[in-house]
Structure 1
Amino acid sequence: MRISLHGLLSRSSLCRVAILTPLAVLLSGCDAVVLSPAGDVAARQRDLLLISTGLMLLIIIPVLALTVLFAWRYRAANTDARYEPDWDHSTQLELAIWGAPLLIIICLGAITWTGTHLLDPYRPIERIVSGQPVKPGTEPLKVQVVALDWKWLFIYPQLGIATVNELAAPVDRPISFEITSATVMNSFYIPALAGQIYAMPAMQTRLSAVINAPGDYDGFSANYSGAGFSGMKFRFHGQSVADFDAWVAKVRKAGGALGRDGYLALEKPSENEPVRYYASVDADLYHAALNMCVQPGKMCMDEMMHIDAKGGGGVTSINNVLPQAADKYARRASPLTASPTFVAALCTVAEPMGVVSADTSSSRIFPRDPAGITGAGLPKPGLSNASLPRLRPFSIAGLGQPS
C-alpha cells in the first residue's frame, strides 16, 4: 500500500486545523484589558503581576528544564551516566537549592509590601501617570456607588445628579468612590480602571483611581449575588472635560428626580435594567442607603450605634419595632422566618440626632418629641416608669453595676 508524501502532509494539515479551530473559537472571547488597562492604578497592578510572575519563573523554568534533563540523562538505557549510590550531600548544591528561592522570596516580599501600600484603594491619588503628579488643589470627582439587585446606582454629590448602570468621568482627574450595597455583598470592578473592591450592606468601602485614556469600558459585579447577577453590568465612559460636561448636561436634561420613594422602588429586585438618568437627587439619599434607613420612620444604623455607645435605650427599647412595608430580601427569605420588621427611629429626618441640650457643658442629646416614641411592646405616651417591671441589679466582671 502506497501513501504519497503529499497525502501525509495534507492529512497533517487537516489535523492541525481541526485541533486549532476549537482553541481559536474559545480564545476569541478573551479580552486582555487586565494586561492593557487605561488607568494608572490598574497599570501599576498589572506591572506588579508581571514582575511577580517573572520572579517566580526564574525558579520554575530551570526546575522544569532540569527535570526533563535528569530524566533523559539518567534513563535506564544510558549506561554512560555516572552511578553514585552512596552520594548524599553537596554544599554547593544545597546553597543553590535554598539560596535562589530565598532571594526571590525576599524580592517578592519587598515588592508586595510596597505595592500593598502604594496601591491601597483608600489612598488618595498622588499621580496621574508616572512623572506627572496631581496638581495641588485638584478636587477629586466624588462618586457614591450603591449596589442594588441587580443594578448599579451612581450618585454624583458634587453635581447633584445620579445614574443607573452608566458611569462617566473626565480623563486625568482623580476619582474618589464611596461604595456600599443595599442588600447582599457585591464587588465593584472596572478592569481598565483599577482592581475590584467589595460593596457590603451597612458598610462603606473606598476606591481611588484615575482614567488616562478616553474610551468606553466594561464594569460589572465580580461577586455572585443571585439570579440577576449575569446582567449586573454597566458602562464606564472615560471622557475629555468637554465631553464630560456635555454628558452631565444630557443627564440633567433627560433625567427626573430621585428621592426616597424613587429609591425604594428602584431597590426592588429587577434584572437587565436599562440606563436611567436623574437630574436631581436627595442630598441625604446615600447616607440613608448606607445606614439602611431610606424607609420613613426607620432608625439609621449610625443613630443606633450612637445610642448603643451611650449605654443603650433601656429595656423599653427591646420591642421598638414597626412592620416593614416592603421586604427587599423577599427572594431570599425562608418560609420559617417571622414577618419583616425594623427598629423605629427616635428622631426626625431633618434632625437625625435630635436637639442638643441648651447647657453647653453637657453633651447629652434629647429627642425632639419623647411623647411620640411608640412601638410594639412599648408603654403608651404618658405612662410613668413606675409601672414598668423592675430588674434586679447585676454586675459583670470588669464593668461593675449599672447606674
Structure 2
Amino acid sequence: MNDSPAAEWTTTPITADVLRGALDLERTERGVLPHRLPAKARAQSSDGQLAMVESQPSGVRLAFRTAATAVELDVLPTKTVYRGAQTLPGNAYDLLVDGRLAGRATADGGNVLTIDMAAGTMTTESGPVATVRFTDLAAEEKDVEIWLPYREVTELVALRTDAPVEPVPDRGRRVWLHHGSSISHGSNAESSTTTWPALAAATGDVELINLGLGGSALLDPFTARALRDTPADLISIKIGINVVNADLMRLRAFGPAVHGFLDTIREGHPTTPLLVISPILCPIHEDTPGPGAPVFDDGVVRFRATGDPAERAAGKLTLTVIREELARITAARAADDPNLHHLDGRELYGEDDFAELPLPDALHPDAATHRRIAERFAKHAFGAEGPFA
C-alpha cells in the first residue's frame, strides 16, 4: 500500500455524482447502500429474493476523474453462500482506467448470508468493514471506474485517494437500460464487467444501467414503473425464464401482463428503441413447465424442471410457449410502435451453442457463454441495421 501520511489522503463523499448504475442510494449507519430499484418499488414487495438481488450491485460502479496513484474503498459486503454448494464467482471489484481493466480485487471480512435452498431458509452472520485497495496507478489525470461485485450486497463506507477526485465529465454517451433475469444479473460471469450486458455495453459504447434481477424478472408492475421513470436512450427487457421456473402464472395471465409491462414503459418512453428478448435455450424448460428445483450432488448444484409437459394444455408455461407469445405480442404491437423490436433468445444461445458450451447447472451460462451472448447481442443490437444503431 502507498506509504503517504494520512494527511495527504483525500476522502470523497460517496454521492450520486460519483456513482453510476444505481437508481437509489440508501443512507446507512456507516455510509450508503446502492439499490437498483427505487424505494417506492422496494416498498411494494415483501419477497426476500428480490430484496437481496436488487441490492446486489450488478453494473453499479464508482466513476471519477483523478491523478491518484492509489485508491482505497472501505466497504461492508454481504457475501452470499449456498449451503452444501461450491463457491460461485462474482465477488470481484474490477478497476477500469480509461475504460480498460487495470486491476481486480476482493474484499475480506463483511457479513455472510447463508442460503439453504433445500430448506428455503436464510441466515446472516455479521462481520467487519473491509478495505479494497488499488495501487501503482499512473500519476496523471484519468477516468477511474470501480465496478462492484454483482453477487455481494455492498455498503459503501469511504472512498480515499492520494489526489483529489472530481466527477467524470459527460462524454455524451447514450444510456442503455436493461432488465432481465439472473443471466442478465451476471450468474457465473467472472465479474460485473464481464456479464454479457456489461460486455455488450462496452462494445456499443453506451452507459449501462443493469436491472437484471436474479430470479425476479417476473413482470412486476413496480419494475415496469422503475423502467418508465428512469431516463434512458435505449431499453431492452429479457423475460420468460423466471416466469417458468417460478411457475408464477398461466398463459391467460402472461399475455396481458406483458402488454401491461410494455404499456407502462411506453408511458415514460413513448418512442425510445425498445427491444424485447425471449429466453435463451434452456433444455430443462423448453417443453417442461416449472417450478424449477435445485439438485445437490457432491457440492455441485444443478436445476431440474418438476412440472408435467402434459400441463401445457391447461395453460402452464414453457419456454416454447413464452417465445411464441412474445413474438406474437411484439409483432401485433409493432404495427403502431415502429420502435418496438423483438429478438428470439436462441439467436444469442441455441442448440449448437448448448452442444459446445452446455449450461453448467442446466440453467445458467458460464463465463465463456456470457462473452458469446454479448458478442451476438452487440452485433444484433448495435450493428448498422440494429434497433440500437
TM-score over 0.5 for the pair: no
More RCO (CA 8 Å, sep 6+): 2
Q: Which has the larger radius of gyration?
A: 1
Q: TM-score, structure 2 length as denominator?
A: 0.24
Q: TM-score, structure 1 length as denominator?
A: 0.24
Please identify which structure carries the higher strand content.
2
Please identify which structure carries the higher helix content.
1
